[in-house]
Structure 1
């Protein structure tokens, strides 16, 4: 092995009138006035998205598991509220007729029966409205924006408040409402509901 061999990578660098060549480990810079060029081969890939679409424009984003769970919980709460509203309407008519039979035909009994029936119907209508709102929010999870996310958080907060006031019967409502708030407020939930803004 001779140091004079031009093909020897370990030999002395030979100056051929081109100036000093950069050694190993030193970045090579383009001469002044020449624009820097990108690396060889394919262009750089777009950044990867945490949801598996590769960051490609137009690729469909997958709904995160927490958001799916919150959607199912809203379906459950909406269904329970609608069933409860139907049950309250049925009970109100039975309550009114039983009260009238037991109290006789006095004016006070009729007033009390109609007041009780009116309160139960009002509670049933309120429960029906709350149930329909939960179902509409659950339907909008697929395509809705940040307004649906805020609506779900507000709905969960109101549900948790009513759950606290109706304990121990409201324990299921309280638990589901808190879970809806947690799953929708997480960072992946925020990314899901703000995905339309990120594409533009």
Structure 2
């Protein structure tokens, strides 16, 4: 009696694999679930991993914004405007200090009451203000230049710069500092927004 002859009615018939099974252990019509026995699918709700590396989920663009947001760009322009105003103010203060110092030696100016009130103002203070204006100018220029590559530390520094500038615009430079105050407030708001945070905190490779 031959067990291997399929035409023999008395012989042992070869066993057939279960319906739906695959001799290689894969599910029909799908991929094997990694980490589970062959022939079994992963439980419902458990995502199957892709080939090679686990899938990563990101909220938004993982690389951050590729171009500078409009609000950040506007804040950068305002820094340049503040730098220009500081340059003009420094020049005016220096010219005023030189003019007052030279006029004090003129005999005609000694009889001018209004000029004498101006001459009582220390000339050295005007030079100090001029030096401060130049230093603030340089500070604003450095911040503006670094906006393209600076990180979150630059963002925080810019906000501090803007807040101090706004306060100085209110006192003691009330009249000439009004424009500085408005620009500084806008800079602090634009840089402090979510778009500003995303720009300065974006990954750098």
Are 1:94 and 2:99 an aligned pair?
A: yes
User: Rg bigger for which structure?
Assistant: 2
1:112-155 CA deviation, whole Å, 9 max, x = no partner? 95972211111100111001100110001011112211111111
Give me the whole-angstrom Cα distance separating, in 2, the residues matched to 1:119 and 1:38.
Answer: 71
* Structure 1 unpaired stretches of 5+: 1-15, 20-27
- In the superposition, the TM-score normalised over structure 1's length comes to 0.67
Deviations 1:74-104 (A, max 9, x none): 0100111022112211111111112332228
Calculate the TM-score normalised by the size of structure 2: 0.65
Does 1:182 find its partner at 2:179? no
Count of aligned pairs = 162
| Shift of residue 18, structure 1, vs aligned partner | 3.1
Structure 1: distance between partners of 2:193 and 2:185: 12
Equivalences for residues 163-182 of structure 1 within 5 A:
163-165=169-171, 166-182=173-189
**Structure 1 vs Structure 2 CA RMSD:** 3.6
Whether the 8 Å contact between 1:96 and 1:114 is mirrored in structure 2 is no
Would you say the 8 A contact 1:99–1:113 is kept in 2?
yes
What CA distance in whole angstroms lies between the structure 2 residues aligned with 1:199 and 1:33? 43
From 126, 139, 144, give the equivalent of 2:145: 139
Runs of 5+ consecutive residues of structure 2 not aligned to the other structure: 1-16, 21-30, 43-47
